[in-house]
Amino acid sequence: MKVHFFTRLAIILLGLAVTGCQQSPPSAAGGPPQPPPAQVSVVTLVQQPVTLTTDLPGRTSPYRIADVRPQVNGVLQKRMFVEGEDVQAGQQLYQIDPAPYQAAYDSAQAMLAHANAEMASAKALLDRYKALGSSNAVSKQDYDNASAAELQAQADIESGQAAVEAAHINLVYTKVLSPITGRTGISVTEGALVTANQTTPLVTVQQLDPIYVDIPQSMALLLRLRRELASGQIKTTGENQAQVTLTLEDGSGYEQSGQLQFAETTVDQSTGSVTMRAIFPNPQRLLLPGMFVTALLQEGVSENAILVPQQGVTHNAQGEPTALVVTPDDKVELRVIKTNRAIRDQWLVTDGLHAGDRVIVDGLQRAHPGATVVPTEVTSTTTAQQP
């Protein structure tokens, strides 16, 4: 009985082995089954008109700025304005105690009057000696002395006139005037002791209408903008000037347009960068010095532009921008592209992609060149128009 049992078991095992050998392999290579095609999201590219602008971040600075300092020593008696208000050129801002300068002026005038009296006396004496000289009634020595006295009196008059003028100037300087029209800042108070030409200003006056926007940029950008300005691609408002608009820090637009002045460009010799200057009207004083703003320079309209969402563009080992495109037979193809600039969350592509191409924007990690994918069309919510 045992012999029959083991014989039957051997026959069963042999049959299972033969059956296993006759089964077909899972794949031609003997590996695991192939996974299904990856699901990806694509955007179909279209040609569209795009307004091209250049964003120029900058900072506002006053059109004019004047640090008001005293030109004579003394004590401030009055401050004749309110901090933060606008003042006019020539408006009196402070009154320095004029008493010592008034006294010096009065003294200089008295000395000048005395010199004039001395001059009249010396001239009368000289005229009398001249009349007596023909009859030898006066000695030559007396005549020479009278002539010298007249010359000395004349010199005293000229010195007295200069002293009167200097005293008058110092007296005028006790009234501290605004050199420009503008807005005042923080000021010293009455009772402060001030000195002539001190380093600390009494107040700073800034002209805010119009106002400058200083824009630091690379030299390459400046050269490109100059070429576009010369070719007429950029709208001009005058020689070496281009029209620009302004965006404030909160994202709102500034109502007044300005001019980018290419002639007022300075180069930093240490870095090679340049600072361009734009000028904007500021009648409402909405723009204040030190604000960060963005100047938008319109460069024209590209009628047949190709825009690609930025999430669909990567870079290869050489740093070149690339995109994965789904071909008509749903194969993945790698394209090396050229981009011109970013427009919101899209790239403006100048080479490598065409209208009708389906660019993968989601599922890039599941797709590789040559693989078959299942594309799903999505609609980009971005717009081609820059703000």
Model confidence over 326-366: pLDDT tens digits?
Answer: 999 999 999 999 998 888 889 999 899 999 999 999 988 88
Query: Residue 167 falls within a domain, yes or no?
Result: yes
Say yes or no: 274 and 263 in one domain.
yes
Is the model more confident about 256 or about 125? Answer: 256
Is the model more confident about 135 or about 351? Answer: 351
Query: Residue 369 falls within a domain, yes or no?
Result: yes
Per-residue pLDDT for 240 more than 80? no
Query: Residue 19 falls within a domain, yes or no?
Result: no
Say yes or no: 344 and 273 in one domain.
no
- DSSP characters for 149-164? HHHHHHHHHHHHHHHH
Per-residue pLDDT for 78 more than 60? yes
Say yes or no: 166 and 254 in one domain.
no
Say yes or no: 180 and 278 in one domain.
no
Say yes or no: 167 and 180 in one domain.
yes
- DSSP characters for 4-55? HHHHHHHHHHHHHHHHHHHSPPSSTTS-PPPPPPEEEEEEE--EEEEEEEEE
Structural domain ending residue among the three candidates 301, 325, 354: 301
Phi, psi of 6 (to 5 degrees): -65, -30
Structural domain ending residue among the three candidates 194, 218, 245: 194
Confidence label for 384 from pLDDT (cuts 50, 70 and 90): very low
Is the model more confident about 9 or about 384? Answer: 9
Q: What is the mean pLDDT of the chain?
A: 84
Strands 38-44 and 274-280: unpaired
Q: What is the pTM of this model?
A: 0.65
> What would the 3-class secondary structure string for 308-359 be?
EEHHHCEECCCCCEEEEEECCCCEEEEEECEEEEEECCEEEEEECCCCCCEE
- DSSP characters for 270-312? TT--EEEEEEE--TT--S-TT-EEEEEEEEEEEEEEEEEEGGG
pLDDT for residue 15? 52
- Specify the CATH number for the domain of residue 329: 2.40.420.20
Residues 175-234 have pLDDT tens digits of 999 999 999 999 999 999 999 989 999 999 999 999 999 988 888 888 888 887 777 767
Say yes or no: 182 and 148 in one domain.
yes
- Specify the CATH number for the domain of residue 254: 2.40.30.170
Number of neighbours of residue 160 by Cβ within 10 angstroms: 21
Tokens matching residue 5: 């049992």
Confidence label for 325 from pLDDT (cuts 50, 70 and 90): very high
Confidence label for 13 from pLDDT (cuts 50, 70 and 90): low
Specify the number of domains making up the chain. 3
pLDDT for residue 22? 47
> Domain residues for 336?
38-50+303-377
Residues 160, 163: Cα–Cα separation, whole Å: 5
pLDDT for residue 120? 87
| H or E stretch at 377 | strand 373-377
Structural domain ending residue among the three candidates 281, 301, 321: 301
Say yes or no: 239 and 125 in one domain.
no
For residues 160-187, average pLDDT: 94
pLDDT for residue 386? 40
Cβ(269)–Cβ(252) under 8 Å?
no
pLDDT for residue 287? 94
- The percentage of residues in the chain with a pLDDT greater than 70, rounded to a whole number, is 87
Per-residue pLDDT for 83 more than 50? yes
Give the type of residue at 118: E
Provide the sign of the torsion angle of the four alpha carbons 356, 360, 366, 370, taken in this order. Answer: positive
Residues 254, 211: Cα–Cα separation, whole Å: 13
SS3 106: helix
Residues 281, 208: Cα–Cα separation, whole Å: 9
Report how far apart, in Å, the C-alpha atoms of 54 and of each of 132, 226, 238, 260, 278 are.
94, 13, 19, 12, 14
Say yes or no: 70 and 183 in one domain.
yes
pLDDT for residue 102? 95
With vertex at residue 246, the alpha carbon angle to CA 265 and CA 300, rounded to the nearest 5 degrees, is: 80
